[in-house]
Amino acid sequence: MTKKFYMPTRVFMGYECIAKNCEAFKTLGKKALIVTGASSAKKNGSEHDVKAALDSVGISYLVFDKVMSNPTIACVYEGAKVAKENDVDFIIAIGGGSPMDAGKAIALLAAQDIDAANLFSGNYENKVLPIAFVPTTAGTGSEVTQYSILTNDEKQTKTSIASDLLFPALAFLDAKYMEYLSISTTINTALDALSHAVEGMLSVKASSVSNALAVESIQLIMECVPDLLSVLNSKSKTGLELEVREQLQQASFMAGMVIAQTGTTAVHAMGYSLTYFKDIDHGRGNGLLLGEYLRIVEREQPDLAGRILKALSLSSVNEFREITDKLLGEKEDISTDEIQQFSKMAIQTKNIANCIVKPSEDDLKEIFILSFLM
């Protein structure tokens, strides 16, 4: 297989990086649509900072703040309509994975007419509005990927738009916007990033470059685990030092670069049903499943699993399960009928073909059972 590496996003990192690099917005146009959720970007100051930066360089803007968790197809078509009606030149997405996923789809739909039946086809014209991202969680890495994940009610799952058109032009990484994230959100997003890095190493598209980024990301996240557990056990609402949040942000950024090259594997395929049917946070779902999938890999390709365990600084999958169990706490209830349904859905996804160790449907059932019922 031919290996590739493509990461066209210009990334600014560090404290007040939006204000310090506000001139970069002028390269995208004269009028922006800010895409975000209803409240978090207002509370953490990121929306204020973006507006101030745009004001300082004479760029006009309007706000579309109707993005919900796990954005729907209807939501992005509504946002695209607003963008078209107001003749915006570019999109700025602020928030966690949901606003960033929505922002990419809105940028695509505002630039060309695509009906809902063909939204996930991959057959697009070479037209998209430029995109700038301000991530306010450390998990998805969407600021450096070409994926937009939307809730697909017709298929009862989450479905990906994947196109190089969707790489953001700019990204601004400032960990101060994560200072007051709850510990549960911080853990869930950290495990999402960890899953990206590990799954990248388990992909048939993995390369020496993507693996190097994955190992560094894994190590950075694992170094933060003692701090996460300490805050969790203290019952503090936030409590993490800014330096720890910066480290998690860097790890998420690198893990995003990994999956931009490799895609994701069985864990994501299985996790989508947990989010759609059980309303389990995406990163939490990944974290619940990752250990048992790694056990399947260890059974089939112990050397590959060993390289991942080495990056985790652990000697066994059991040790990894102990850590994720401590981080995630009490598990949601899942029935044997649901396990049958979710496994049947997951085995049909393209993620399975992307696995170096391709699980069978029975393997997927085993992962669900050991992750939730044992």
CB–CB of 28/170 below 8 Å?
A: yes
Domains within the chain, CATH numbers bracketed: 10-177 (3.40.50.1970), 182-372 (1.20.1090.10)
Per-residue pLDDT at 374:
80
pLDDT digits (tens, 9 = 90+) for 222-271: 999 999 999 999 977 668 999 999 999 999 999 999 999 999 999 999 99
Q: How far apart are the first and last CA of the chain?
A: 38
CB–CB of 137/195 below 8 Å?
A: no
**DSSP reduced 3-state for 10:** strand
Q: Per the structure block, which two tokens stand in for 212?
A: 């190097």
Phi then psi for 243, rounded to 5 degrees? -65, -35
Place of tokens 């999938």: 293
Per-residue pLDDT at 4:
84
Per-residue pLDDT at 238:
65
Residues of the chain below pLDDT 70: 1, 237-238
- pTM of this prediction? 0.96
Per-residue pLDDT at 228:
96
Other C-beta atoms lying within 10 Å of the C-beta of residue 79 = 27
133 burial via Cβ count (<10 Å: 0-12, 13-18, 19+)? buried
